[in-house]
């Protein structure tokens, strides 16, 4: 149960940093930011495995999580516009 709390906290931090890195405004509240950060960690894990940074089953690091969240934001903006 406590693990889920930390996942949400780290997701909030990663999502907020990804929103700060991407230029322009990104709509969405706290829940969207947490979900963005968690999804960014998943994308970062898979991207890190493809690039050889992580082995299968190893979670993404903080910087790769931010990179994954920025990729999600970029794809979302491309689809939206």
For the chain, 81 residues long, give each residue's pLDDT as a single digit of tens. Answer: 777 788 888 888 888 888 888 877 777 778 888 888 889 888 988 898 899 988 888 888 888 989 999 999 888 888 877
Residue 15 has a pLDDT of: 86
Residue 10 has a pLDDT of: 85
Tell me, yes or no, whether 7 lies in a domain: no
Tell me, yes or no, whether 1 lies in a domain: no
Tell me, yes or no, whether 41 lies in a domain: yes
Residue 32 has a pLDDT of: 83
Instruction: Pick the closest to residue 36 from 63, 4, 69 (CA basis).
Output: 69
- The pTM for the full model equals 0.83
Could you please report the per-residue DSSP string of 1-67? Answer: -HHHHHHHHHHHHHHHHHHHHSSS-----HHHHHHHHHHHHHHHHHHHHHHTSS-TTPPP-HHHHHH
Residue-number span of the structural domain to which 49 is assigned: 30-81
Tell me, yes or no, whether 46 lies in a domain: yes
Residue 28 has a pLDDT of: 74
Tell me, yes or no, whether 2 lies in a domain: no
Using left for φ > 0, alpha for ψ between -120 and 50, and beta otherwise, residue 56 falls in beta
Residue 77 has a pLDDT of: 83
- Overall domain count for the chain: 1
Residue 60 has a pLDDT of: 82
Tell me, yes or no, whether 18 lies in a domain: no
Tell me, yes or no, whether 6 lies in a domain: no
Tell me, yes or no, whether 5 lies in a domain: no
């Amino acid at each position: 149960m406590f693990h889920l709390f930390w996942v949400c906290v780290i997701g909030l931090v990663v999502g907020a940093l990804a929103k700060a890195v991407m230029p322009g405004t990104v709509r969405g509240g706290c829940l969207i930011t947490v979900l963005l950060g968690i999804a960014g960690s998943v994308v970062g894990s898979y991207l890190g495995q493809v690039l050889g940074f992580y082995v299968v089953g190893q979670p993404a690091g903080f910087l790769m999580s931010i990179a994954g969240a920025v990729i999600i934001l970029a794809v979302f903006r491309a689809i939206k516009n």
